[in-house]
Chain A
């Protein structure tokens, strides 16, 4: 098997907390603290977790929007975390981004035409202005926007249309990987479905890899191949979709999944409600970071950090327990399966 498209090895990003007189660096926020994963060509990997767990920071680190603290980001066999701005341009073309907020992700003073032309010009993808125009028109067709709105500005569009423009801008660079940072979280349910389907179509059409950062597990289940669950700056579990949704191996994953509402009237749920709040990433707990809230905590968890180990076919988990004890409630799938239900899609 060829090398994966994107490889992230032990990525760390610590932000200084400035405080006191003369802005001393008094502390660090351990936003991302040792994250490793791979994304294959044409694959969707979803990064899920609560707000503030560091999933967006991972996305921004891959985009090289800031310098990372430690670790490696390898794109197609080449390390990109230390590249100079001059050498970065080629890599930038291959990794693009779609942001959450369709209102602030487009410059309000630029026309759609110029927004789409910007990456094409920067990467020298069009040799003439005629080719540029052709490419811009083709992008509008690709994201299913009418061609005659090219001279409008972003405020004249709805949220879903803006997100299409954002996707078109990402596609303009002809990328191999698109980081979707909560790309559908700010949209209405119906528009959300349209955008998700569009992303899936584009993935098939162009063989795109997607790093889908989200907290919406229903959407994730619909469109992903694999899932990585983050908690306090670390990945606690990473596995193919079927495995992780049917048999989570980490107590945090189980709690997260049990919180997903079941769209079935009368379905019984036995949510695992976690106690307490997420600890501060400035002062993360010792040992396993989840031990303060884990229902199965024992002594070893408080002192020894669990290793991120292979626990089955493509399943990685960071937990001292080999198998999760059963909780009272329906066995197996943490989510109750209503009778006669069909899987999504």
Chain B
């Protein structure tokens, strides 16, 4: 049995676990995977978070990727980071940089087993702030400056690739170099609020080729979270990393209220496997939930089975298919052979999101007497955006 087949049938514990600590966020990025903004009142408290960490230690999960929301806005965030690293669970956390002042950067530089990932979606303020909000470019650059000044080497600069920033790849690499950081680029997903902006922001077919060529040229020097395996159908040079969907097999997501989902890009009731607060905790969900067991069974290539590229791309990303209304056993919406576009032409309506923590722009006046007010850009109500 090849190593990759072991991964496909699932491991005793996840290799890579993402834990969104809060849905609260000071920003409102247009492509947020978790539709974050407002804190969920059912959020795990400090003691419950510690219990999760204890369990991850028992399962020998070597490290967690902590995100949100903006995890550093939790008042117990730094305490939880310390608790985790004290219990042999390393931490890499994603932040927009809002709390990374000089003092905190020094603390981080001095702590073992903590890695930091700053989100940046444009190499210029104009491109970044259009997606992440006004001032967010300056916040990120200030945080990177503080980390560099404190001597924190090899922190990650994490970029979601969009139609607006594919041309800036070299500029991102230069920014990473100038701060002694490491560039990490990941794929835009039509998940969360990303569904609303997918059509205008996902890279064009020509840009996908450009991205693939750039990745091949830069090899192991750039991190990708192994998120571009769908591009392998372009050619004979496989991208480095694990080229298969790891959902429920080697990765999963714990959300702020303890719900366990198959992957960070699939926060939807269809991919909900259980909750860490239920009897048996996280390990019971990981090992025995019917959803994860199902994901570990061999999958059919479906309409991709006659495609010679299937062995390279493995049908692409489950979440990208699901949130664009495509069947699981068919092409990815960004299939580089063009089968995704064909499939989309006849696809049904994309699923409705099952959770939304976006901040409401204004309090809803109770005196309005006609129907539910719309608060998402994709709503077709003529009242959308008019309140």
A-B complex is real: no
